[in-house]
Every structure is written in structure tokens, then in C-alpha cells.
Amino acid sequence: MAAGQKAKLDMTNYSTAYRKGQQLTYLQRERRRLMLAGYAVIPLYEKRPPQCVTSWQHIPPVDQWRLADQSAGGAWRGNLGIIAGGGIAFVDCDSPQSVENMQALLADLAGPTRTGRPARYAAYADKAAPRVRTAHGGLHVYIRVKDVPTGFNWATLPAEIGSGELRVRNCYVVAPPSALSDGTRYKWQQGKPEHINDLPAIAWADLISMGLVKAGTLTDAQLPDVPLLWRPAPAFAVDLAGILHTASPGQRVLGYASRSEAEASIVAHLILAGWSLPEIERFFEQHLPGTYADKPASQRQAYLQLTYSNVLAVLKADPDRAMLGQLYEQANRAAWPGRSGATDKRAYQAILSLGWPAGKLTLAAASRDIAQLAAIDDQTARMARRRLTEAGLLDYLGMATVDGRPDYGKASWYRITGRLPAPAADSPGNSTTTSGGLELWSWRKLGHSAELVYRHLPEQATASVADLARVTGKAPRTVKAALYTLAHYGLASHNGKTNRGSRWGRGPASLQSVARQLEAPAAATARRNRIEREREAYEAHRHRAQRRVDGDGDGQQQRTTTSSARAAHGQRTDTRPASAHLRFRGSTGFRRPAGFRTPGPPATSPGGWRLVRSPVTPRQPPPPPA
């Protein structure tokens, strides 16, 4: 094997056996083949539940394989799974009826039909199109899709086709050469996995016309108006689900008139915590609350979807939430000039997202929450928040208080004014959200300006650089650089002309595939984990500092002695908590601001600790609203 080829294989990190110089197994070769074809491959067990990693949706595949190899004590010898996403989807047919109907539908795509199905999808009727015969006698049809609504992940096939699912995001299928415990294997019925890249992407509207999905299945109208910050399941929702698990029909639960009303409350809490419908379905399957558990398995999904839609409609009917959603869309249409314009837009929309769960225009805007939603650094979020306040988009209300005293460890309060720059475009443009949130558009990936430009790219190459500069507020030179970056990854296309005839449009590549290529989901997970570690470190530091200043026994005596000694020398005593003097600096520690020092213990107080006040007196803002 050539050295260059060996280095390329090592970079994929696909097997412990290869790194030890051993011969690759058939399973490892098939895994490498799928990865090189562009699939996201994960390890699976032969038994149920098949997932090797519980939170497989949130952990990058490379880390899942590392954990699987460690648990196996060497190279993994189980099954393979392929995650749907990045424009790759699967039609899973579970019964002989659905297999027969699906094969007839695919054959019907070979030419124009009386139903008006586009003939441009004839490649799916070719024998080169990849299809898999499952170990249970079913069929997996590999397809490419585009223009899928943001919140759609999967759905059961219509009754006209039969038993099965259409899997588009946050789902997986078992891939060849996986096998069941009895030795029955998944096999390629026709085509090769590499041929998926030669198939045309099927538009969402055409999926509906083909009958693969019902019209009105979870569109953008059935999603929150803004992307929400994901948080763990609220303790109240978990406790309520546990009570409902044993509640009898007609029983009042914690003041709720019925079990279904209490389950609707659980759905509301999970929506406001940033959970998607598939995640809520997994939560209900895990806890099995009363009414949901009493439903037949075939009716549970429909019941939960109806509850989800009703709850979301109530949440979106709130006037303040409706206003926040409108401001979010207006921010997409507005021009954001200047070097920091794109960053300010992301930070502003992140603040709108933070205000949506509470349904208020007044909120405590924590910089780390802004950084996580906007895919920027904590310090960048602080600076953007300050610029937004200076521009009049936010009103600074003051710091959080405890017993009438400022609490420097909590987020400051702001009010969203509702002011925005004048709209520069007629529509909000293309969606730029991927499975990794906005991480694809971070400065380490494609860049903030590239996001603004891509959002306003038309479907066909009809926009000039001057047109894009006007709607984005960016300089033509910046727009050109962003277009070249987008074109490099296939997200932008050019008409081939120069000078005044030069026009740009959207490219053939999908955002999901580019996000996977640049490992944006893994970067988003790493950012979320890093910010969580920063929060924990900061809270631990605040507690330690507070114990030093406000502790009992010796600590209290030392504080009193230190204050008396400073008062005897004519110095002002500082009554602020110790955490006010220490700024958090990422995950590396803390540094004190200029003007503060912590000298050695005074002679009158062995082992004591004193703080010398900065000559610069910070401003005293008004208290936050009640």
C-alpha cells in the first residue's frame, strides 16, 4: 500500500486494527467504503436496542467508533448504520405490500406519467440506483432530497404505499453487511453505495406529489418562530411524566384536569427547552406517561404530533412571541453593514431566541448563551451585545440583584426595543441552518459574511455582486470573497460571464453535506461542551470566592479584621462579592481587571485576604424590572 494512501486511511480513523498494522476485516472495508462515499456511519449492536451510544444524535460518528472499539477491546465486530442527513434520505419499506408499491413507484419514474411526476427523476428507476434488501425481507431505497422543511425528520409512509417510514434527518438505517443474531444479512439488491452521488435531489414538493409523504406533514408553520437553545429536560417535566406513568384515567394530576392536559404541559416544557418533535417522542417512549402509554403503538405518533401542534399553536399565539418571530425574520431581510455587521446580526437573533421561551421582550441575556446560539466566542458575544446597545436595538436595564445589591455573577438585564435597520430585501432568503446550527458559518468554517451572501443567493444565477452588496450591506470586495468561498464548496454557481454580465446563484451542493464535510455538527457539540465547562468552572469559582468573603468561623473573623485594618488606614471597605473582581477567561482560569490586586495578608490578620478597590468606580445601573 502506498504511503499516501496509508496516511489518508489513518486520517479517517476507521479502525484500531489498521493502526496496529493488522489486516482489515470485511466489516472494516465496507465501513471505509461507505465513509468515502460520503455517508455518516455509526456502530450498531446485533440485538435491540441496536445503538451502541445512547446519545448517538449528539456525538460525532468518529467518537462513537472510538467508544465502540474501546468497549470491544479492539476492532468493532458488530453492525453498521448510516445516519440520514446532508441531503441523503431513506425510504424504509417494512412489508411485502410497501415493497411492491415502492418498486412500482420507482419504475413509474422512468418517464412522464399522467400524475405529472417529473421525468428528471428517471435515474431512480435505473439498476444503478442503490437499494438494500433488509434481513427481515423489507427494502431500503436510498434517495437524495432538497428543500425539506427545517423541522421534518421522519414520517410514516402513506397508507397507499404501506408500512414503512421516510427517514430524512436524525434517523438511521442498518447498512450491509450487517446481520441479525440468526445470521441473516442486509444485502445490496442493486446498485452501489457510491451511486448515491449521481442521483438528482428530489424536491420536497415532488416528494408530496409522488405520494411518499402527506401534504401538511410538519412544515415550518409547525415549528417555533426562532431556533431555541437546547437544554436538558426540565426537572418538572421528568417528575410529572413519572407521576403520569402510574396515574389512572380521569385522575387529576398536580392541578391538571386530565392526564392528556398534563402531557400537553410536558410537551410545552420540552418545546421551550429547545427539544424537537423526534426528541419529545423518545422522551415519551422512555417515560410512557398515562394517556400516551394507553394508546396502541400505531396511534402514539399521531397523538403526540397532534398534541405538539396544538401546544405550539398556543405558544406562538402569544403577542410578544409573535413579535420576536417577526423581528427575527426582519433581521434576515435587513442589511448589516460594517466589519462586525454579520456578527451583530447573529448575536441579535440569538438574543431574540433567548427571549422567545419566556415570551418577553425583557430578558437576562447571558453572553455564553448568546455565544452558543450564534456560534461565536464569549468575548465576541459581549462586544456584539455592547454594539447592539449603542445602536439602539437593545436597552440596558441593569445588573441582576440579590437583596438589593448587584450580583456580578448573573447576566445583566436588557430590553429588546424592536428597532431594526430598514429592510434591504423583499424576503428573508434561503435558510442557513444545518444540523450543527450556525456552526457552518463560524469564522473557522465558511465565515459570517458567507452566510449573509448565501441567504440572498437566488435559485438561478441572476444576482450580480452589486445586488448582493446592497442587500447584505457588505462591500463588493467582501461579497466576492464570500462567493468564491461558497463556489469552492459547491454552494454558489456562476454563469461564466465576466464584468457586468457576471451573475451568481445557488450551487448544487446542499448545506447538510458541506456541514458534514467541514465537521460542523462535531464543532457545534464541542462548542456546547466547552461553554458548559466554562459555566461549571465559573460557578465553582464564585462559590469558592463567596466562601472566602462570607464564610463562617475563621473566614468571617478574617474578613472583619481585614475591614477594620483598612478602615484604620483610611481605606474604603469593599462590600461587593469577591466574584465581582475576577473575570472569567475561557476554560484556562481567571484574571483580575486592571486596578485590582490581591496583596499578601496584612500583619494584623495572618492568613487574611483583602481586596483593594479600583480607582475607577463602575456605573450603578437601575435595578432590573420586577
DSSP codes joined into one string, 266-296: HHHHHHHTT--HHHHHHHHHHH--HHHHHS-
Average pLDDT on 428-442 reads: 70
What's the CA gap between 274 and 150, in Å, rounded?
Answer: 14
What's the CA gap between 449 and 447, in Å, rounded?
Answer: 6
User: The cell 399522467 sits on which residue?
Assistant: 114
The burial of 505, by beta-carbon neighbours within 10 Å (0-12 exposed, 13-18 middle, 19 or more buried), is given as: middle
Average pLDDT on 375-380 reads: 90
The burial of 47, by beta-carbon neighbours within 10 Å (0-12 exposed, 13-18 middle, 19 or more buried), is given as: exposed
**Which positions ≥6 away from 375 have C-beta within 8 Å?**
346, 437, 438, 439, 441, 442, 524, 527
By three-state DSSP, how is residue 541 classified?
helix
Write the single-letter amino acid at 559.
R
CA distances from 55 to 51, 241, 279, 552 (A): 9, 20, 11, 43
CA distances from 282 to 54, 247, 255, 322, 603 (A): 12, 20, 26, 28, 62
Average pLDDT on 526-530 reads: 85
pLDDT, residue 353, reads 92
Position 278 pLDDT exceeds 90: no
> Binning pLDDT at 50, 70 and 90, where does residue 382 land?
very high
| Closest by Cα among 138, 134, 174, 175 to 157 | 138
Position 620 pLDDT exceeds 80: no
In the chain, what's the furthest Cα-to-Cα distance? 97
Q: What's the grid cell of residue 127?
A: 439498476
Average pLDDT on 302-325 reads: 87
pLDDT, residue 139, reads 93
The burial of 376, by beta-carbon neighbours within 10 Å (0-12 exposed, 13-18 middle, 19 or more buried), is given as: buried
| Closest by Cα among 215, 310, 214, 325 to 271 | 310
pTM of the predicted protein model = 0.56
What's the CA gap between 586 and 247, in Å, rounded?
Answer: 46
What's the CA gap between 411 and 399, in Å, rounded?
Answer: 7
pLDDT in tens, 465-484: 888 988 888 888 999 999 99
Average pLDDT on 72-95 reads: 86
Q: Which of 63-72, 314-323, 419-428, 472-481 has the lowest mean pLDDT?
A: 419-428
What's the CA gap between 455 and 28, in Å, rounded?
Answer: 40
* Pair 211, 161: CB distance under 8 Å: yes
**Which positions ≥6 away from 382 have C-beta within 8 Å?**
367
pLDDT, residue 509, reads 80
Position 150 pLDDT exceeds 70: no
Position 520 pLDDT exceeds 80: yes
Position 388 pLDDT exceeds 90: yes
Q: Which of 314-328, 423-437, 597-611 has the lowest mean pLDDT?
A: 597-611
Average pLDDT on 364-383 reads: 90
Position 33 pLDDT exceeds 60: yes
> Binning pLDDT at 50, 70 and 90, where does residue 459 land?
confident
Average pLDDT on 154-181 reads: 86
pLDDT in tens, 41-80: 988 887 666 777 766 777 788 888 888 888 877 777 788 9
Q: How many residues does the chain have?
A: 626
By three-state DSSP, how is residue 179 classified?
strand
Average pLDDT on 29-48 reads: 84
What's the CA gap between 304 and 276, in Å, rounded?
Answer: 12
pLDDT, residue 299, reads 84
pLDDT in tens, 233-273: 999 999 999 999 888 887 888 888 888 899 999 999 999 99
What's the CA gap between 140 and 189, in Å, rounded?
Answer: 9
pLDDT, residue 381, reads 92
Q: What percent of the chain has pLDDT over 70?
A: 77
Q: What's the grid cell of residue 356?
A: 422567545
Kindly give the residue spans of alpha helices, DSSP state H, lying in 25-78: 26-36, 61-72
Average pLDDT on 541-555 reads: 67
Residue 465 or residue 109, greater confidence: 465
What's the CA gap between 615 and 619, in Å, rounded?
Answer: 13
Q: Which of 12-26, 45-59, 506-520 has the lowest mean pLDDT?
A: 12-26
3-state helix/strand/coil string of 312-363: HHHHHCCHHHHHHHHHHHHHHHECCCCCCHHHHHHHHHHHHHHHCCCCCCEE
Residue 193 or residue 14, greater confidence: 193
Average pLDDT on 291-303 reads: 86
> Binning pLDDT at 50, 70 and 90, where does residue 112 land?
low
List, in order of start, the domains of the chain with CATH numbers: 3-219 (no CATH), 224-316 (no CATH), 319-416 (1.10.10.2220), 439-518 (1.10.10.10)
Kindly give the residue spans of alpha helices, DSSP state H, lying in 109-222: 204-210
By three-state DSSP, how is residue 157 classified?
coil
* Pair 454, 486: CB distance under 8 Å: yes
Mean pLDDT of the chain: 77
